[in-house]
């Protein structure tokens, strides 16, 4: 395991986080006005490469349900969606809608946190010691009016690239699943790539999807503590891999992307603290790669075109998404 996974003797968790943040910081890499972070790695040529991977046209939605049934439990006011019908077929049948000639219709409203199910963390979502992405003051970026600089709308036309599935659950787990609390190290990632073969090599501009198998378990056993509880996930020691690989974004099938409980006593989501405001990396959480993973295991192809645009919500620090993997 990387020496960054836990504090070395005489080095506090705070020192380890600060050292990793400074070592892997991309501030200024794309100019002082940059709002895209690692999405800058997705070039026009990269999108052409992604399109060339489409051979059969088979498409997989990587979204979990947006349902009132779960998985949120109210942490930091995150609730499950509330779906309300404002017009239904009942009113239409009884001619109660006021339309002429028998015309009828249905309408509905949904109220939900933007991060209650499958979603992107935007660059304004996490701060490091009062600083947002690219070294800006957190308070000058995100105010009560929303993210004034790196709102999720800035990414709306950018997130289409080569996707790569790393099915760590199958490569390193038991029966295709990693246990809760399993810290995925750089070695586990490289082991997975070796097991899957050369087409799962990861490079600049790729969007990596990590399957741990926790969501598979949640579908079988129920939500339980899926939202916020113990989970397999990326080790803090993968920060160097995330930076060095020059990926555009990474997503997992878990609530929090990184291993929980976190590896440092008294820390909260330390890999987020390095990845988002310092590396400028987009993080996806609560994705569903299961159907895609089965197909990849059958045909041995772990690369595909991935389209995962956030909703064009001005000033938001995250967004629901229905990612599409096209093979």
Helix pair angle (290-299, 214-221), 10° resolution: 120
Same domain, 105 and 212: no
d(CA 72, CA 288): 16
Backbone angles phi, psi at 264, to 5 degrees: -100, 130
Same domain, 98 and 42: no
User: What is the SS3 assignment for 104?
Assistant: coil
Same domain, 92 and 209: no
Q: Is the peptide bond before 295 cis (omega within 30 degrees of 0)?
A: no
Find out whether 71 and 225 touch, Cβ atoms under 8 Å: no
Six-digit token string for 97 = 């809608």
Residue 296 inside a domain? The answer is: yes
Other Cβ atoms less than 10 A from the Cβ of 52: the count is: 10
CA-CA-CA-CA torsion sign (95, 100, 104, 107): negative
Residue 8 inside a domain? The answer is: no
User: What is the SS3 assignment for 238?
Assistant: helix
Same domain, 274 and 245: yes
Same domain, 200 and 90: no
Question: Which residues face 252 on adjacent strands?
Answer: 210
Residue 5 inside a domain? The answer is: no
User: What is the SS3 assignment for 163?
Assistant: strand
Six-digit token string for 323 = 């990612």
CATH of the domain at 292: 3.50.30.50
Same domain, 103 and 181: no
Residue 7 inside a domain? The answer is: no
From first to last of the 327 residues of the chain, give the pLDDT tens digit. 444 555 566 678 899 899 999 999 999 999 999 999 999 999 999 999 999 999 999 999 999 999 999 999 998 889 999 999 999 999 999 999 999 999 999 999 999 999 999 999 999 999 999 999 999 999 999 999 999 999 999 999 999 999 999 999 999 999 999 999 999 999 999 999 999 999 999 999 999 999 999 999 999 999 999 999 999 999 999 999 999 999 999 999 999 999 999 999 889 999 999 999 999 999 999 999 999 999 999 999 999 999 999 999 999 999 999 999 999
d(CA 112, CA 90): 26
Closest by CA position to 234, among listed 225, 243, 224, 222: 243
d(CA 29, CA 26): 5
Same domain, 90 and 231: no
Query: What phi-psi label fits residue 304: left (phi over 0), alpha (psi between -120 and 50 degrees) or beta?
Result: beta
Q: How many domains does the chain have?
A: 2
Q: Is the peptide bond before 261 cis (omega within 30 degrees of 0)?
A: yes
Residue 317 inside a domain? The answer is: yes
Residue 167 inside a domain? The answer is: yes
Host domain of residue 182 = 13-75+113-326
Count of residues making up the chain:
327
Closest by CA position to 215, among listed 272, 318, 284, 310: 284
Same domain, 160 and 183: yes
Confidence (pTM): 0.95
- Number of separate helices (H) and strands (E) present in the chain: 10, 15
């Amino acid at each position: 395991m990387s020496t960054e996974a836990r504090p070395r003797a005489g080095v506090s968790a705070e020192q380890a986080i600060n050292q990793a943040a400074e070592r892997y910081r991309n501030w200024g890499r794309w100019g002082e006005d940059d709002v895209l972070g690692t999405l800058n790695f997705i070039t026009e040529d990269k999108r052409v490469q992604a399109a060339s991977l489409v051979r059969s046209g088979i498409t997989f939605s990587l979204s979990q349900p947006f349902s009132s049934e779960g998985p949120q439990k109210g942490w930091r006011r995150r609730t499950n969606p509330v779906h309300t019908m404002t017009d239904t077929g009942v009113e239409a049948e009884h001619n109660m809608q006021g339309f002429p000639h028998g015309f009828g219709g249905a309408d509905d409203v949904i109220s939900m946190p933007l991060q209650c199910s499958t979603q992107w963390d935007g660059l304004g979502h996490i701060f490091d010691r009062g600083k947002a992405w690219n070294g800006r003051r957190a308070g000058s970026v995100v105010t009560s009016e929303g993210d004034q600089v790196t709102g999720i709308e800035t990414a709306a036309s950018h997130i289409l690239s080569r996707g790569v599935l790393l099915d760590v659950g199958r490569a390193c787990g038991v029966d295709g699943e990693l246990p809760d609390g399993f810290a995925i190290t750089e070695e586990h990632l490289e082991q997975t790539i070796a097991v899957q073969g050369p087409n799962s090599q990861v490079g600049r501009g790729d969007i990596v999807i990590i399957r741990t198998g926790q969501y598979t378990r949640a579908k079988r056993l129920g939500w339980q503590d899926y939202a916020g509880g113990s989970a397999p996930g990326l080790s803090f020691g993968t920060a160097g891999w995330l930076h060095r690989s020059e990926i555009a974004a990474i997503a997992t099938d878990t609530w929090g992307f990184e291993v929980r409980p976190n590896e440092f006593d008294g820390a909260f989501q330390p890999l987020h603290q390095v990845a988002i405001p310092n590396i400028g990396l987009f993080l996806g959480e609560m994705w569903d790669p299961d159907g895609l993973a089965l197909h990849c295991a059958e045909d041995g192809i772990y690369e595909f075109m991935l389209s995962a645009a956030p909703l064009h919500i001005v000033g938001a620090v995250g967004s629901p998404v229905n990612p599409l993997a096209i093979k």
